[in-house]
Amino acid sequence: MGLRPLAGTSACRPSSAPGASGPSASGPGAFGPTASGGAGAAAVGSTGSRSVKESRGMDAIVRWVAVSELADPTPYLEGGELLLTTGLRMEGDLSGYVARLVARGVAGLGFGVGVSHEEVPPALIEAADQAGLPLLEVPRETPFIAIGKVVSELLAAEQYEEITRAFAAQSRMTRAALRPEGAYAVIDRLAKEVDGWAALLDETGEVRHATRGARTDVVSAELTRPEGVGHEGGVRSRGGERFPASLALSGPGEHIVVQPLGGGARPRGFFAVGARHAFSPVAHTVINAAGSLLTLSMEQGRAHLEAERRVRSAVLELLLSGAEEQARAVLEPLGGGLPGEPLVVLATGPEALDALEPHAFTALHVPAEHPHPTGPTPPVALALVPATTPAPEKAPEKAALEVAEKVALEADIPVGVSLPSGYGAAPLRIAIDQASRALETARRTHADRVPESGRAGRALEGAESGWAGSALETAGRGRVV
């Protein structure tokens, strides 16, 4: 049996029919725009149908087969169908009939000959040719149900192939996640799978890693827009803070998806992926898999960081008990160390640990000397910073104060600063006490004086309007920035 194309190209083909050309599942175009679902109109050539005449429309995607003898079947169609008919009511000018099918998005028209018409009406051939509608001649011996079965089988084969390709892509990304580069390797692999670019960003929108051609400027700008304006998917909120839940941007020749990373209410980072073509359902599956791998990698890194923090807290307790040699011995295998003397202690809230850690040895500490009046004493984040500086024109505390100012600006939180000290148990306790008291004074006395003028503005305003002087007066030694 066969379909004879009358007003189209040689016969309909599916986008992933056996033998059809297309990008390899492992190649860079594996999820390009030509690999989406649906059988092409030429695919039903296996039933013997043929196109009536060459036409530009034969590559249209067929999503289903419908049969109708109505003069206007479009109210019962969704678009993407291969419509089959015997032309029971066709006569005269058929341009209106064809125009309605094209407007509805019908993929093609199959005309069964030998029932109502011995051949396809010339008026239909002319109208289909002018409108660019693929027109197939279906021989009398070919049942319409046979065409429906062929298309159904092709669609099922495409779905299976898509699942197989998605599974293979996920396997490749999982292997990438096991490489030493971890998350960076996943980003590189993702860009290849979608035939585009990918990027990893931190929670502030700063780029951590990106492949060639990444539109990170667009992504960073959108992530930092106030209140998630223009963000498809809205924002997530916690404690008055607002974070983008997702981003989907599209324009001529540009499609971008951004997803948050981390299992908590506040994203710990974002990843973005973009391409010149729209993403297929399979590509979206691969993107979601990449998000899961990146989140897992981030959470594992977070667990390792928490373990390191517990070790540093234990080291601080050793220092406070006078066991300096043992404290250094614990840090040595971890590749860490303690700053030289003299040193300055910084004290701030535990939420500033991330901002403190790049600059100094840090640890969480619960000050036993100052119990909280209403409940358990909250921990403070402490940092041991060298008080000395290679620049002779700087005061001994200048280096520590610069670190404190950076942390106060970045974390939007006051930082208590001690006077220079050493590693003896008693001097170190005094320095911690100075910094902690200065921090308490700033929180209690001056928090309501700081204007709501932005993160950097609040921190600088506090430092310039008497926090340091008041802290020195109240605590005796400590100061605050």
Is the distance from CB of 172 to CB of 38 less than 8 angstroms?
no
Is the distance from CB of 134 to CB of 12 less than 8 angstroms?
yes
> Which has more confidence, 348 or 26?
348
Is the distance from CB of 271 to CB of 290 less than 8 angstroms?
yes
Whether residue 240 has pLDDT greater than 50: no
DSSP codes of every residue in 194-242? TTSEEEEEETTS-EEEE-TT--HHHHHHHHTSGGGTT-TT-EEEETTEE
Whether residue 395 has pLDDT greater than 60: no
- Judged by DSSP in three states, 479 sits in strand
Whether residue 304 has pLDDT greater than 50: yes
Query: What is the rounded CA–CA span in Å between residue 66 and residue 4?
Result: 18
Query: What is the rounded CA–CA span in Å between residue 226 and residue 239?
Result: 16
Whether residue 239 has pLDDT greater than 70: no
pLDDT tens-digit map of 305-334: 778 788 888 888 888 888 888 888 888 777
Q: What is the mean pLDDT of residues 194-212?
A: 90
> Which has more confidence, 318 or 397?
318
> Which has more confidence, 63 or 59?
63
Is the distance from CB of 245 to CB of 260 less than 8 angstroms?
yes
Joined tokens for residue 291: 């998000």
Joined tokens for residue 406: 């950076």
> Which has more confidence, 6 or 59?
59
- Judged by DSSP in three states, 14 sits in strand
Query: What is the rounded CA–CA span in Å between residue 457 and residue 256?
Result: 34
Query: What is the rounded CA–CA span in Å between residue 197 and residue 211?
Result: 6
Of the spans 12-26, 72-86, 243-257, which averages the highest pLDDT?
Answer: 72-86
Share of the chain above pLDDT 90, in %: 28
Sheet with 247-251, side-by-side order of all strands: 207-210, 197-202, 269-275, 254-261, 247-251
Lowest mean pLDDT among 16-20, 84-88, 89-93, 130-134: 16-20
Q: What is the mean pLDDT of residues 19-48?
A: 41
> Which has more confidence, 401 or 185?
185
Query: What is the rounded CA–CA span in Å between residue 150 and residue 282?
Result: 23
> Which has more confidence, 12 or 111?
111
> Which has more confidence, 237 or 149?
149
Q: What is the pLDDT of residue 322?
A: 85
Q: What is the pLDDT of residue 354?
A: 78
Residues 6+ apart with CB under 8 A from 291: 259, 261, 271
Beta-bridged to residue 3, according to DSSP, are 49
Lowest mean pLDDT among 48-62, 68-82, 133-147, 190-204: 48-62
Q: What is the pLDDT of residue 224?
A: 74
Residue type, 192: K
Label residue 75 by pLDDT band (50, 70, 90): very high
Q: What is the pLDDT of residue 14?
A: 36
| Helix or strand run (H / E) with residue 409 | helix 398-411
Q: What is the pLDDT of residue 471?
A: 37
Q: What is the mean pLDDT of residues 350-359?
A: 79
Nearest to 399 by CA among 354, 339, 441: 339
Is the distance from CB of 113 to CB of 120 less than 8 angstroms?
yes
Give the CB-side neighbour count of residue 26, counting CA atoms within 13 A.
3
Q: What is the mean pLDDT of residues 154-161?
A: 88
Whether residue 185 has pLDDT greater than 80: yes
Chain centroid to CA 79:
32
Query: What is the rounded CA–CA span in Å between residue 359 and residue 145?
Result: 73
Whether residue 122 has pLDDT greater than 70: yes
- Judged by DSSP in three states, 9 sits in coil
Q: What is the pLDDT of residue 187?
A: 94
Domains of the chain, first to last = 4-155 (3.40.1390), 178-295 (3.30.450.30), 339-480 (no CATH)
Share in percent of the chain as helix, strand, coil (round to 5): 40, 20, 35
Q: What is the mean pLDDT of residues 361-387?
A: 72
Neighbours of 269 (CB within 10 A): 20
Label residue 440 by pLDDT band (50, 70, 90): confident
> Which has more confidence, 12 or 188?
188
327 burial via Cβ count (<10 Å: 0-12, 13-18, 19+): buried
Query: What is the rounded CA–CA span in Å between residue 11 and residue 155?
Result: 16
Is the distance from CB of 112 to CB of 177 less than 8 angstroms?
no
Whether residue 479 has pLDDT greater than 70: no
In this structure, the chain runs to a length of 481
Q: What is the mean pLDDT of residues 105-114?
A: 94
Q: Mean pLDDT in the chain?
A: 75
Over the Cα atoms of the chain, what is R_g?
Answer: 34
Query: What is the rounded CA–CA span in Å between residue 233 and residue 246?
Result: 5
Label residue 159 by pLDDT band (50, 70, 90): confident
Share of the chain above pLDDT 70, in %: 70
Whether residue 9 has pLDDT greater than 70: no
Joined tokens for residue 208: 């951590």
Q: What is the pLDDT of residue 375?
A: 53
